[in-house]
Amino acid sequence: MASTGVYGLAGLFCATAAGVFLLTGAPTMTKLSSYDPQVKELLSKMTLDEKIGQMTQPEQDGLKDPADVEKYFLGSVLSGGNSDPKEGNSLQAWTDMYDRIQRHSRNTRLGIPILYGVDAVHGHNNVLGAVIFPHNIGLGCTRNAALVAKIGRITAEEVRATGINWAFAPCVTVPQDERWGRTYEGFSEDPQLVKTLGEAAVHGLQGVSLSDPLSVLACAKHYVGDGGTTYGSAKGGKGLDQGDTRVDEATLRRIHLPGYVSAIQAGVASIMPSYNSWNGVKCSASKRLLTEILKQELGFEGFLISDYNAIDQIDPNYKTAIGVSINAGMDMVMVPTKYRVFFDDLKELVHEGTVPMARIDDAVTRILRVKFAMQLMDKSRSPIADRGLHKSFGSPEHRQVAREAVRESLVVLKNEHKLLPLSKGAARIHVAGKSADDIGNQCGGWTISWQGQSGAVTPGGTTILAAIREAVSKQTNVTFSKDGTGATGANIGVVVIGEKPYAEFQGDRADLSIDKDDLAAVTNMKKAGIPVVVILISGRPMIINDVLAQGDSFIAAWLPGTEGQGIADVLFGDYNPTGTLSFSWPRSMAQIPINLGDRNYDPLFKYGYGLRY
């Protein structure tokens, strides 16, 4: 551990049978507006160019010239899902890239350091060798806020090891329809659980204070109603992602807002408005949502960062889109490549009087508050990466916490004749299925690349097959075939099936039934006449009827990440499962959308279901 205080927050929480409670309340975050005297002084020295620069966030590999950080006085840079350093993907290269870009900010007249943002949504997931935690859907099934806070702390530490100081997390979406490709980014379909775990994640990422060198700025996303879009309202009349959330304001507040209320109470200092619309109006264009509700009513004092090219969807004329979004309350714009155009257009909009100077000053004030709170303006503190943290990057200690998260996230849905826990002393266990020996499938989307990928995508983790081999006795023979053939003579079969990696709109699906190949692997195993455990790797509940009937035991493992031993812990009874569903499990596609509180609620497995041994 790099410091003894790293897990201090976990002590704030207390787990009981009934749930998890904050013992001593949230750590007292200094109000961001308390930095306003310093901010005002700095703002008074700034030119319009310098102010607009603070509001501009290009992507690292979209920079035409690294010196543009100086020329455009950039306030921030991001790495999106496919934005590796040009030297390749390594801890070293990421750190060098961050330092190089940050150094440019020091050459500007005012020397205001940049915020560097990255999608650290389940660990520092773009960087090879980082520990990859379960995606939020699995964490929801743990119901363990202290654990979620701990994961946030470790993620912050691994992000900081590369110098990066901002994570686009937590996602406090409340997915209402499993066909959505981002279902796994949400903790739960239940706003109350999202509220509790979102708050814990903010505490973990931001720590007790934003000025802690082991904290990162957190970002609650995607505001608001991203998980509530109407099926068929997305681009081209298909799917859900980036579509239209057609609900009245009371419903929006009841389902989709609570996560933001608690994140703001927890001190979250940035929020990302969403791609989706609310009743036909893009969130990024809605003054009602951004200014009236978030800033005025909820008292949010931090800043808003738009989503990747999201403001482009407001109007075909880019300049018009910029004006509408900034006037609605957007403070910083994620403009991966055309940042020069954005810069010039916004300047013109100010000169023309379309965007009032007061709005620019408000946006920059909000950004600078956060920079002061993070002590980025403290000349005695270097914004350059602390490479001492490389030592704990992807460390066994960090992996141990991920392993605990995995075993707590698993939900046992079926266990006939008490097949589980399996004996470590069985003579032979046959393992099968396309995801039994595949770290990439275990991790899902947002892993090393935006969409994720099957195969050995990152070093250091343990596949489920490897974890089983590690767990059993010396005498046990563990055999493997992808398609489930060759199981004859084994005592037990374990089949690992499910979804291959995807992210965002590419994961929207009209049909969530199990693949033919997966079904065949289970059927082949059953032909050997042995008891079979089915493990499902997926970003959401799927239509499992056939495999559920064939499997003697069934475990929903979600997208567990790199630490497959957490699955072996449950299989062999080193951990008595505690995970319970954070989503209702549908019987058929016709039942979707299905959510807690529906009239005639009759899922295959209810919200909260989960067996123990």
Q: Which residues bind ligand BGC (CB under 6 A)?
A: 80-82, 119, 168, 221, 307-308, 450, 504
Q: Which is nearer to ligand BGC, 85 or 493 (CB)?
A: 85
Name the closest residue to ligand BGC (Cβ).
80
The pair phi, psi for residue 31, each rounded to 5°, is -60, 135
Tokens encoding 386: 């602390």
Q: Could you tell me how many helices (H) and strands (E) the chain has, helices first?
A: 19, 19
Q: Which is nearer to ligand BGC, 236 or 353 (CB)?
A: 236
Q: Look up tokens 């039934």; give the residue.
A: 513
User: What residues contact residue 224 under an 8 Å CB cut-off, 6+ apart?
Assistant: 252, 256, 257, 260, 273, 274, 278, 283, 289
Q: Which is nearer to ligand BGC, 186 or 498 (CB)?
A: 186
Residues 557 and 535 sit within 8 Å (Cβ to Cβ): yes
Q: Which is nearer to ligand BGC, 172 or 556 (CB)?
A: 172
Q: Which candidate in 50, 84, 199, 307 is catalytic? A: 307
Q: Which is nearer to ligand BGC, 308 or 572 (CB)?
A: 308
Cα separation, 30 vs 373, in Å, equals 8
Tokens encoding 172: 């406090």
The CB-of-308 to ligand BGC minimum distance in angstroms stands at: 4
Q: Compute the residue count for the chain.
A: 613
Instruction: Give the sheet arrangement for strand 76-79, strand by strand.
Output: 76-79, 115-118, 166-167
DSSP state of 229: P
The CB-of-408 to ligand BGC minimum distance in angstroms stands at: 25
Tokens encoding 514: 């199990």
Q: Which is nearer to ligand BGC, 27 or 336 (CB)?
A: 336
The CB-of-85 to ligand BGC minimum distance in angstroms stands at: 14
The CB-based long-range contact list for 258-262 (8 Å cut-off, 24+ gap) reads 258/191, 258/192, 258/194, 258/195, 259/172, 259/173, 259/174, 259/191, 259/194, 259/195, 259/198, 259/220, 260/172, 260/220, 260/223, 260/224, 260/294, 260/298, 261/195, 261/298, 262/195, 262/196, 262/198, 262/199
Strand partners, 492: 429
Q: Which candidate in 157, 177, 226, 504 is catalytic? A: 504
Handedness of CA 239, 240, 244, 249 (dihedral sign): positive
The CB-of-81 to ligand BGC minimum distance in angstroms stands at: 3
The CB-of-40 to ligand BGC minimum distance in angstroms stands at: 31
User: What residues contact residue 516 under an 8 Å CB cut-off, 6+ apart?
Assistant: none
- Sequence letter at residue 6: V
Q: Which element (helix H / strand E) includes 203?
A: helix 191-206
Q: Which is nearer to ligand BGC, 81 or 507 (CB)?
A: 81
Q: Which is nearer to ligand BGC, 283 or 355 (CB)?
A: 283
The CB-of-80 to ligand BGC minimum distance in angstroms stands at: 2
From residue 105, alpha-carbon distances to 54, 110, 118, 335 in Å are 11, 9, 18, 18
The CB-of-383 to ligand BGC minimum distance in angstroms stands at: 21
Q: Does the active-site annotation cover 307?
A: yes
The CB-of-503 to ligand BGC minimum distance in angstroms stands at: 7
Which of the residues are catalytic?
307, 504
